[in-house]
Amino acid sequence: MSQNTDVVVIGGGYAGVMAANRLTQRDDVTVTLINPRPAFVERIRLHQLVGGSHNAVVDYGDVLRKGVRLVVDTVTRIDAAGRSVALATGGTVGYDYLVYAVGSGSAHPGVPGAAEFAYPIAGLEEAERLRPVVDAAPATAAVTVVGAGATGIETAAELAEGGRAVTLVCGEVLGPSLHPRGRRSVARRLAGLGVTVLEGPGARVAAVTRDAVRLDDGRELPSRVTVWTAGFGVPDLAARSGLSTDALGRLLTDETLTSVDDARIVAAGDSAAPSDLPFRMSCQAAVQLGPQAAETVLSRLAGKLPAPVDVGFVAQCISLGRRSGVLQLTNKDDTAKRYHLGGHAGAKLKEFICKGTVWQLSYEARKPGARTWWAKDDKRRQLLRDKRGTAPATAERAA
């Protein structure tokens, strides 16, 4: 009688759920998903939770394949030698293979007062903590959003559409990943919502107090509520467990997403750094990396060499409240094209993509392995060639 292979997936976000579902293709694989929360978090809707238009959670029963064991707990340490993980509530869970998909969260702001007085929004609990603070503030109270990326733009627009007096502090430039044409479209919509956009020299935050934000150029902005969206970090679980990581703490892997330290550990999503050339932290990358991490495990179980990772980007989609948005088309290497779609059509597409992403998870749960198409980025091969000689070695030892 053949023995089952136990695979543990740490993290129940976009990458982790996709990986767990894909792993169920084999009947002799037992999959355990460990996640701190009992429900799936739609991180791309957290700004809506703060604005009151969505709760940003989905029942795992809707996106996770029946038969995947869900353990609601936090992994505190990985014992690679003993092939087990320690849980916060006590006890351990053993594994034959481990998928490291712990995702990302708010980075430490590194600005005086920001950790004490600003509200991050990268996680569910953070957004839930911010929501009543916004609701309790008078309608005329000054709200400052720090960060000019998609999260900052979406949060500023959501709150402004709800009648809030919002200032968006960009640092250097609004929407740095957008094409100038897409950036102008975003700026027009924010202006129409009454958002004050501060960018250019001097528009970086120097300090945050309980009721103000001070900029590099000395300006002081009254701020009853300060929302911090500048930068993301990753949990330090891999580093604490003695595994090799990049400077940010992402697990270092080869191009098959296999840890450079241990062939039994693969990574996916925001917490993975293949060849020390990580992809942009995003849902778009996560839903591609999750299945490919699972395929690496399945290939090893089948006695085959795992395929190198292939991830390509198609577009960036930014909501600008409930009635407008911008779909910025991109090259496969995530650089912006000159084409974008804005206005009401952009909002419709953004909502379609949000719903479609959950549909992808549920489709993988119903038909694991059915999707094999990825928008491949050929430029990555050139990056790897340029990096040759310094890229991490593969972990192609006995599995």
What does the pLDDT look like over 371-392, one tens digit per residue?
766 666 677 777 787 776 554 4
Q: Which of 25, 8, 60, 66 is nearest to 372 (CA)?
A: 25
| Position 393 pLDDT exceeds 70 | no
Q: Are 204 and 215 in contact (CB under 8 A)?
A: yes
The pTM of this model reads 0.93
The model's pLDDT over 270-329, given as tens digits with 9 standing for 90+, comes to: 999 999 999 999 999 999 999 999 999 999 999 999 999 999 999 999 999 999 999 999
Phi and psi at residue 124, to the nearest 5°: -60, -50
Give the separation between CA 373 and CA 380, rounded to whole angstroms: 17
| Position 102 pLDDT exceeds 80 | yes
Q: Mark residue 275 as left, alpha or beta (left: phi above 0; alpha: psi -120 to 50; beta: remaining).
A: left
Give the separation between CA 63 and CA 59, rounded to whole angstroms: 7
The model's pLDDT over 55-75, given as tens digits with 9 standing for 90+, comes to: 999 999 999 999 999 999 999
The model's pLDDT over 156-215, given as tens digits with 9 standing for 90+, comes to: 999 999 999 999 999 889 999 999 999 999 999 999 999 999 999 899 999 999 999 999
The whole-number pLDDT of residue 374 equals 60
114: number of Cβ within 10 Å: 21
Calculate mean pLDDT across residues 248-256: 97
